[in-house]
Copies of this chain bind each other. A is one copy, B any other.
Amino acid sequence: MTAAAQGRPVEELVVGVLGGTGPQGRGLAVRLAAVGQRVLLGSRDGDRAREVAASVGERAATAAVGEVSVQGGSNTDVAGAADLVVVAVPFAGHADTVAALAAPLAGKVVVDCVVPMGFDELGAYVLDVPEGSVAQQAAALLPDSAVVGAFHHVSAVLLEDLSRPTLDGDVLVVGDDRAATDTVQALAGRLPGMRGVYAGRLRNARQVEALTVNLVSVNRRYKAHAGIRVTDV
Contacts and interface: CB of A to CB of B under 8 A. Distances in A.
Interface of A: 122-126, 155, 158, 168-169, 172, 174, 197-201, 203-204, 206-208, 210-211, 213-218, 221-222, 224-233
Contacts of A233: 218, 222, 224, 226
Contact of A227 (B122, B221, B231): B231
The binding surface of chain A is classed by DSSP as: mixed
Given A225-B232, A226-B232, A230-B226, A213 B207 contact: yes
A117 to B, nearest CB: 10
A214 B218 contact: no
Contacts of A207: 126, 206-208, 210-211, 213-214
A177 to B, nearest CB: 14
B168 A204 contact: no
Nearest to A221: B198
Contacts of A201: 122-123, 217
A199 B172 contact: no
A93 to B, nearest CB: 23
B172 A203 contact: no
Nearest to A213: B204
Given A200-B216, A226-B233, 12 more contacts: A122-B201, A126-B204, A172-B214, A198-B221, A204-B210, A204-B213, A204-B214, A204-B217, A206-B210, A218-B230, A225-B232, A228-B228
A217 B200 contact: yes
A200 B226 contact: no
A228 B226 contact: no
A203 B125 contact: yes
Contacts of A228: 228-231
Contacts of A204: 124-126, 210, 213-214, 217
